[in-house]
Amino acid sequence: MENLENFADCKETVSPLNNSGSIMNSTEPHCDGKAMGFVLVHAGAGYHSESKAKEYKHVCKRACQKAVDRLRAGGLALEAVTAALIELEDSPFTNAGTGSNLNLSGEIECDASIMDGKSLNYGAVGALSGIKNPVLVARRLLSEAQKGKLSAGRIPPCFLVGRGAEQWAISHGIPACLTDKMTTKFSLSAYKRNKRKMELAEQVETKRRRQSSGRGNDFGCLEHVADIMVEGEENNSACLDTVGAVVVDREGNVAAAVSSGGLAMKHPGRVGQAAHYGCGCWAENGRDVSLYSTAASTSGSGEHLIRTILARECSAAMQAENAHQALLEAMQNKFISSPFLAGEDCVLGGVIVLRCCTCGEAQNSEDIKALLVEFLWSHTTESMCVGYMSAQDSKARTRISRLPPGAVAGQSLAIEGGVCRLGTGSD
């Protein structure tokens, strides 16, 4: 098992593993080094077809560039991670903001959250309709909470849902956006196909029940029901293109964010992991030089991620000496084999994480000269699209990580990552 701390400057290690932890392959491409910050983004853990690989990679590159632009301008991690999420939400190819899955009623309801590692403040929205960029509402909730109590000593909200979240957003200057404006041809056609499939499945199920009551144990129609499933569910690795990002800035502050349109054909009002505290994202600055600053953002089946509080679990695991091994064990023991998911035979999810610390003499200096950043991603889904970039890189690097051949989604995992030494001072 590679110990990422042994690699110099900025080096990517690629080590997909199965659920037993054996290394399937390993390569070590080299990349440029020193910078004033770093961003790692994901366009979801699920299934990414080869036909759309270029589009997924392109949106990750643009999101990285938006974040880096803010970092180069002196912006902090919270600003940069917000910029990355806006770009990801605006893409029609991701299941967040524009192009989100439609629910049973044919409406868009989005979830999003953001966390600041410096203040430890958090903001989130759930089942939010009528707002183009849900992350902006989550960010505004976080910012407003930092101002202190409301009139008459009321505690400001950090998490709002539904119509109340929409009204709050509009009252705080975030413009409304009609669902029609956020619906794409792809999401609408998928909704119509899924609705027909559900109607057919209900007809088959009704016939099955009639046969069962009239002819004892004749369940002959059951095999047909299995063939009628909502798009993306039939291969146990649905198109769960939740988006997210983690960032570290020149001061060593970390931030994380996540945004999602939720599962296709979900019940109205359903809130996924993207909005839940500790489930969708996590960010926490190290409180002293003995602790790493860590950040995480998740994607996958929201119910699985909520029941395992995966973002916080993976972030906490990054305090171990070997980050690669710690994430592997967290995904295996806290997710795939979690006692909280004992009844599930297909556990779907993914996570991006980073940890950072000051390097050498910089640990005792108020003016941080260098940061060591270790970044990783892991998933149990068939694939996960990621991108990363430092503030001194000329362009972002992207990758669609896939499970090894023969691996079973929901029962196996892949894990990859690398290390960057970020210099903020002159050489």
Question: Known catalytic residues?
Answer: 242
Q: How many residues appear in the chain?
A: 427
- Sequence-distant (≥ 6) Cβ neighbours of residue 374 within 8 angstroms: 4, 5, 318, 323, 354, 355, 356, 417, 418, 419
What CA–CA distances, in Å, run from 126 to 83, 110, 123, 129?
20, 6, 11, 9
- CA dihedral sign of residues 99, 100, 101, 105: negative
Give the integer Cα–Cα distance in Å for 110 and 125.
Answer: 8
Give the integer Cα–Cα distance in Å for 228 and 195.
Answer: 11
Label residues 98-133 b or e (16+ Cβ within 10 Å = b). bbbbbbeeebbbbbbbbbbbbeebbbbbbbbbbbbb
Q: Where in 133-278 does DSSP place strands (E)?
A: 159-161, 243-248, 254-260
Give the integer Cα–Cα distance in Å for 4 and 306.
Answer: 29
Give the integer Cα–Cα distance in Å for 3 and 32.
Answer: 20
Closest CA to 424 of 257, 253, 244: 253
Q: Three-state DSSP class for 41?
A: strand
Strand partners, 399: 386
Strand partners, 376: 353, 417
CA dihedral 195, 199, 204, 209 (to 10 degrees): 120
Give the integer Cα–Cα distance in Å for 109 and 70.
Answer: 29
CB 71 within 8 A of CB 249: yes
Give the integer Cα–Cα distance in Å for 361 and 367.
Answer: 10
Tokens of 301: 């089946």
Tokens of 347: 């556990």
Angle 336-341-342 from CA coordinates, rounded to 5°: 95
